[in-house]
Amino acid sequence: MKNSVRILSFIILIAAFACSKSKRYSKKLDDNKWKVTTLTVDGVSDTVLPEIKFNESDIYEKASRGWWYWGEDGHAEITWQVRDKGKTFEFSNQADHVHGYEDVRASEQAIKYSGVYKIIKLSRNIFEIESSDTYGNKGKKVIIKMERKPK
């Protein structure tokens, strides 16, 4: 009986630690605005580099929300998640309506780059991801590098 309790306690501890690692990585993005410094598809740069705002996350209760900004006034709502102990990042466009040309462009760009990414680097001020499986660029290597903007 004591052995069973110890084993169960150990399993619960490991599960809690694994979840807390993903949460720890998510916290680095939480409630910060990031300036995209590099956005390439097979080495070709996109002409408009967006900013992305990652709203505070609660990985245990719901999908995390954020905003993809394009130009002066354009924005599209996104959902995002860090998982696999900080190895994978996924985001998708969630805009259900737009108000103007720049919102349309923000939504189009967010849709084009939505997908599952491998996290290359995630620190307090640098976020780098890459993927060959994005909605608008299947089979092409997409690289996104970001720097956290000061609050």
The rounded mean pLDDT for the chain is 81
Whether the model clears a pTM of 0.85, i.e. scores above it, the answer is no
Radius of gyration of the chain (CA): 18
Handedness of CA 11, 13, 15, 21 (dihedral sign): negative
* Residue 17: CB atoms within 10 Å: 10
Confidence of residue 72 (pLDDT cuts 50, 70, 90): confident
b/e map 29-39, b = 16+ CB within 10 Å? beebbbebeeb
Maximum pairwise Cα distance, the chain = 66
pLDDT tens digits, one per residue of 84-108 = 888 999 999 987 777 788 899 999 9
Ranges 2-11, 64-73, 121-130, 142-151: which has the least confidence: 2-11
| Percent of residues, the chain, with pLDDT higher than 70 | 75
